[in-house]
């Protein structure tokens, strides 16, 4: 039997060879993507555009400020790096890492052309050969990491996540797109080399992906988009774009600051394990103050220097109740995609980060509320049309 290192080497070689071949064949690779070629074609050559692969657009670039340093993991022909170059301006810097010589050659050849088209005196993009789990980048060098359907190709994702945390400066962030699955990938797919290149065999579960990033030290993990992609042998593969932050290191001593959860959850557990109940003020320390100030948290809390309890009549409070009507089981499953470790709704459901949970038609409608929708992904596991009769929810029916 091959050793783990031999298996990893075989996977890397197979994927690299396939992407190298695509430079000359123009093969369309696995992942769904949505680049605006008309816009990018104004400054990026066609030779780069036609070998651009991914499962999402680098939406994190909308947050880039001039002068920042951006790292693209798996830069390929350079499309995301060149778009980042436009965003950071001539005073910024972009680093692209790729393991495939042919892709690097293509990107380096066109870098001066892109710089000229942007009106820069020289290219501000540095393409480096390297691997996602051992990046040739200095500690704390980067403001933003982007990656487009690449990390799932790495055999050891935890190494990649640790490397991401290492190279980001404190306060830095990432926005990455990748393919994840609703359940563990079986061995017959893991050992299928073609499926690796299709962004399938290396997919982590949603829970595993989120857990790995948090173990590396990231916080404020949350979805930007979640789009169902393919179903193979009952396994749902999902294209997800997510963001997270490298929080600054501060003391966890008590501070005279209070946080009150406003909803829509009746209860929520943050990424440090602190439980909040809607409307009830809770004293928080400096570490939690910083956490709750991150974008995915701040709209759910009121932060004050004294305890303030909120009632249901307060306009800041939000509760979303299900309809008082029969419901139907239609095959829907909801997946909490952050930033909380766990949340409870107003119908006594508790959702845990990354774990698919079956929901009825009424709960599905609840989760379509804008304040819920941005924090959940949903899939439907029914393989054919559902003909179930409506049921009345209640403790005796074990429905909702």
State the pLDDT at residue 58: 62
Question: Mean pLDDT for each 10-residue chunk of the chain (400 residues)?
Answer: 48 50 50 74 91 68 92 94 96 96 95 97 98 96 94 92 98 94 91 71 93 98 92 92 88 78 97 97 93 95 94 92 90 96 96 97 95 94 75 53
Write down the CATH number for the domain with range 326-400. Answer: 3.40.5.100
| Structural tokens at position 55 | 């499962």
State the pLDDT at residue 345: 96
Phi, psi of 63 (to 5 degrees): -95, 0
CB proximity list for 374: less than 8 A, separation 6 or greater = 222, 223
Q: Which regions of the chain carry the CATH code 3.40.5.100?
A: 326-400
Q: Which regions of the chain carry the CATH code 3.40.50.150?
A: 4-245
Following CA atoms 8, 14, 20, 24 in sequence, which dihedral angle do they give, to the nearest 10 degrees?
-170
State the pLDDT at residue 44: 94
State the pLDDT at residue 86: 96
Q: Which regions of the chain carry the CATH code 3.40.5.20?
A: 254-304
State the pLDDT at residue 308: 92
Q: Are 152 and 190 in contact (CB under 8 A)?
A: no
Work out whether strand 267-269 and strand 342-344 pair parallel, antiparallel, or are unpaired: antiparallel
Domain 254-304 bears CATH identifier 2.60.120.10: no
Domain 4-245 bears CATH identifier 3.30.200.20: no
Phi, psi of 152 (to 5 degrees): -65, -15
Give how far Cα 136 sits from Cα of 49, 61, 131, Å: 26, 22, 8
């Amino acid at each position: 039997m091959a050793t783990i290192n031999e298996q990893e080497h075989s996977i890397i070689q197979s994927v690299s060879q396939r992407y190298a071949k695509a430079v000359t064949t123009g093969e369309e690779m696995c992942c769904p993507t949505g680049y605006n070629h008309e816009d990018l074609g104004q400054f990026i050559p066609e030779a780069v555009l036609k070998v651009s692969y991914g499962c999402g657009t680098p939406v994190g670039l909308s947050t880039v400020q001039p002068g920042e340093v951006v790292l693209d993991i798996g830069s390929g022909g350079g499309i995301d790096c060149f778009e980042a170059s436009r965003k950071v301006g001539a005073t910024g810097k972009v680093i692209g890492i790729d393991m495939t010589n042919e892709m690097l050659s293509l990107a380096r050849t066109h870098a001066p052309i892109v710089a000229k088209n942007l009106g820069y005196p020289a290219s501000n993009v540095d393409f480096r050969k390297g691997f996602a789990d051992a990046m040739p980048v200095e500690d704390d060098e980067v403001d933003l990491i982007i990656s487009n359907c690449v990390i799932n190709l790495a055999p050891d994702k935890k190494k990649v996540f640790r490397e991401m945390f290492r190279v980001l400066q404190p306060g830095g962030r990432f926005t990455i797109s990748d393919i994840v699955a609703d359940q563990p990938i079986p061995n017959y797919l893991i050992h299928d080399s073609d499926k690796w290149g299709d962004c399938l065999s290396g997919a982590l579960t949603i829970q595993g992906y989120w857990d790995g990033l948090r173990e590396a030290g990231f916080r404020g993990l949350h979805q930007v988009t979640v789009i169902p992609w393919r179903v193979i042998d009952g396994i749902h593969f999902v294209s997800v774009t997510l963001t997270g932050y490298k929080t600054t290191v501060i003391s966890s001593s008590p501070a005279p600051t209070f946080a009150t959860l406003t909803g829509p959850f009746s209860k929520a557990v943050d990424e440090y394990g602190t439980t909040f109940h809607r409307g009830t003020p809770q004293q928080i320390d400096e570490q939690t103050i910083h956490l709750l100030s991150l974008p995915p948290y701040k709209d759910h809390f009121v932060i004050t220097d004294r305890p303030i309890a909120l009632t249901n009549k307060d306009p800041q409070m939000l509760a979303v109740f299900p309809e008082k009507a029969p419901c139907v089981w239609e095959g829907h499953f909801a997946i909490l995609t952050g930033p909380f470790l766990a949340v409870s709704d107003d119908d006594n459901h508790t959702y845990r980060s990354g774990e698919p949970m079956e929901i009825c038609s009424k709960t599905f409608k609840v989760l379509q509320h804008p304040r819920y929708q941005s924090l959940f992904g949903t899939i439907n596991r029914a393989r054919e049309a559902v003909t179930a009769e409506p049921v009345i929810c209640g403790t005796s029916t074990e429905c909702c």
